[in-house]
Structure 1
Amino acid sequence: MAITNNGSATYEGLGKDGKGHVSTGSGALSAQPYGFNTRFEDAPGTNPEELIAAAHASCFTMALSFKLAEAGYSDGNLTTDAKVSLEKQDGGFTVTKSALHCKGKIDGIDKAKFEEIAADAKENCPISRLLDCEITLETTFEG
């Protein structure tokens, strides 16, 4: 069984002068502005790399939560930040890295076990598996 979700984007005008809007099928994002200025000039709005970062952070955090529950842990908190890097390479732009930083406070677990489970979640979350770039993970553990 495949789970299918959707998003959409429009772009009016071309190149640097164009302006776009991005939406999700759920309505969580609705006509959010994006364009050259939101991607390269810090204008208000979003950009594809920011959306990938949010997707990766949320997917990894959910995967880690499920891995911890499967290992018998039942209480805690997880917070993940993702930084997605876009670099000019070979005449074009490429997403080269997604750096995850996860803070965890899990009752009854030690730091080594938390890091082991987090590493497994990083390798196996669906967005990590999708991305064709370097993925790093740094953890902060509060016992």
Structure 2
Amino acid sequence: MKKSIANARWEKGLKDGSGKLTTRNGSLDASYSFATRFEEGKAGTTPEELIGAAHAGCYSMFLSALLGNKNLTPDYIQTEARVYLGEKDGAPLITKIELTTEAQVPDLSEEEFQQLVQQAKEGCPVSKALSAVPEITVQATLKG
């Protein structure tokens, strides 16, 4: 079983503190704070941004695998994830994730593409892990 390890360190209070997010393999070393999470235009990342990156990456790979099962190879798959942090009962909550994907896949019909898009949304491991999110949508464009 593959194991991935990430760490978070937070110092001080919620609003005046800051933190660092890292991965054991060193591919991520990012700062975050209350301001980066709840205010626009602040330098740093957010847990939701990282969830979005993980979801977009997993979704793209899973869609590629589904295409491969049909002996199709995409020229590219580009996915953006928009993760919405709202509130429920006075507490922060991820309320919605919108996936927008574009792919160029020779010899694939629009109908078959849209079926695979939905299968990827339901089957990618990160989508499954995020099943508590009230709404996950996907909008997909097949480029000719």
Structure 1 residue 15: deviation in Å? 1.2
User: Quick one: percent identity of the two aligned structures?
Assistant: 38
Matched residue pairs, number?
A: 141
Structure 1 residue 75: deviation in Å? 4.0
Per the alignment, residue 142 of structure 1 pairs with: 143
TM-score normalised by the chain length of structure 2? 0.94
Give the Cα–Cα distance (whole angstroms) in 2 for the partners of residues 28 and 85 of structure 1. 25
Give the Cα–Cα distance (whole angstroms) in 2 for the partners of residues 14 and 75 of structure 1. 47
Aligned partner of residue 8 in structure 1, secondary structure = strand
1:113 aligns with 2:112: yes
Structure 2, unaligned stretches of length 5 or more?
none
Structure 1 residue 40: deviation in Å? 1.3
Structure 1 residue 83: deviation in Å? 0.3
Per the alignment, residue 20 of structure 1 pairs with: 19
Structure 1 residue 74: deviation in Å? 2.5
Give the Cα–Cα distance (whole angstroms) in 2 for the partners of residues 139 and 26 of structure 1. 32
Give the Cα–Cα distance (whole angstroms) in 2 for the partners of residues 97 and 125 of structure 1. 17
Counterpart residue type for residue 105 of structure 1: Q
Structure 1, unaligned stretches of length 5 or more?
none
Cα distance per residue 1:32-85 (max 9 Å; x no partner): 110101111231000000000000000000000000000110242110000011
Listed as ranges, the matches of 1:1-143 within 5 Å are 2-30=1-29, 32-41=30-39, 42-131=41-130, 132-133=132-133, 134-143=135-144
Give the Cα–Cα distance (whole angstroms) in 2 for the partners of residues 116 and 65 of structure 1. 13
Structure 1 residue 110: deviation in Å? 1.0
Give the Cα–Cα distance (whole angstroms) in 2 for the partners of residues 37 and 91 of structure 1. 18
Task: List, as ranges, runs of 4+ consecutive aligned residues in structure 1 with deviation greater than 2 Å.
Answer: none
Give the Cα–Cα distance (whole angstroms) in 2 for the partners of residues 55 and 101 of structure 1. 14
Give the Cα–Cα distance (whole angstroms) in 1 for the partners of residues 12 and 77 of structure 2. 41
